[in-house]
Amino acid sequence: MQRVRITDAQRWNGALEGLPNAHVLQTWEWGAFKERHGWRTERWLWVKGDSPRAAALVLSRPLGPWTAGVMYVPKGPILDYGDAALLASVLSDLEGLARERGAVFLKIDPDVRGDTPMGREVTALLQRRGWRYSPEQVQFRNTLLLDLTGSLDEILARMKSKWRYNIRLAVRRGVTVRPGGLTDLPLLYEMYRETSLRNRFVIRPEAYYRDAWGSFIEAGLAQPLIAEVEGEPVAMVILYRFARRAWYMYGASRSLHREKMPNHLL
């Protein structure tokens, strides 16, 4: 198996899309976005013959002129985690790369459920190789997976009855949802800022989100949805999508019309 550094966006995303559980945080666009905000990138592909077997977008942030500082593989590496030999080979290469670059540490966060047999095997393999669990998590560990197979009625039937009630209540009370675009970026940020103040969490400057949201909207990898009551925006979500998966990564709501359940309709 050969490890190849990829410098072409189309080849990278094409190879990534064909791998198991490809994640939007491993796309070319995410690396380009992080480069604009102080990170360096390396994109490595493991190939056997003509077949991509694994991929890793490696981010690094220097702490000085002579070191790579910290290295991070967001939601990766991407590979079949049921293949222990492949995982061991990829980890060995990443460990060697970190040593070669003089990194203080290398962090990975494989997109694998820890409470499954495979997840426990992956954890055990990492521990045997000297990896340690970090209490400082970059991405949210606790996520919810929604199966979108079947009709809309079938998806609704799988929800709790109270959720179905609130969705229908929102419709009866006049809540509508429209797709957003680049012209909505100031509005999206203002709702996000209001939510951060109400719920007391820290957010970044507006320019960061204009880039994080806008560049992915332009690339066709993100779609804002905006809930309105009589034309007045009251809530929003921003969905990212890649390789037949979608992620609800950002959401916000205003204090107005919360009793009309706009978040449930979204």
- Residue ranges and CATH numbers for the domains of the chain are 2-128 (3.40.630.30), 152-265 (3.40.630.30)
Please say whether the beta carbons of 202 and 252 come within 8 A.
no
Please say whether the beta carbons of 222 and 238 come within 8 A.
yes
- Please state, in angstroms and rounded to a whole number, the distance separating the CA atoms of residues 219 and 242: 11
State the pLDDT at residue 73.
98
> Taking 80 as the threshold, does the pLDDT of residue 140 lie above it?
no
* Two structure tokens written together for 44: 């490595």
Helices (H) and strands (E) in the chain, counts: 9, 10
State the pLDDT at residue 62.
86
Compute the average pLDDT of residues 19-40. Answer: 97
pLDDT, tens digit (0-9, with 9 covering 90-100), for 160-193: 999 999 999 999 999 999 999 999 999 999 999 9
* Two structure tokens written together for 240: 């990212």
pLDDT, tens digit (0-9, with 9 covering 90-100), for 229-238: 999 999 999 9
* pLDDT confidence bin for 129, thresholds 50/70/90: very high
Q: For residue 228, which amino acid is it?
A: E
> Taking 70 as the threshold, does the pLDDT of residue 221 lie above it?
yes
> Taking 80 as the threshold, does the pLDDT of residue 65 lie above it?
no
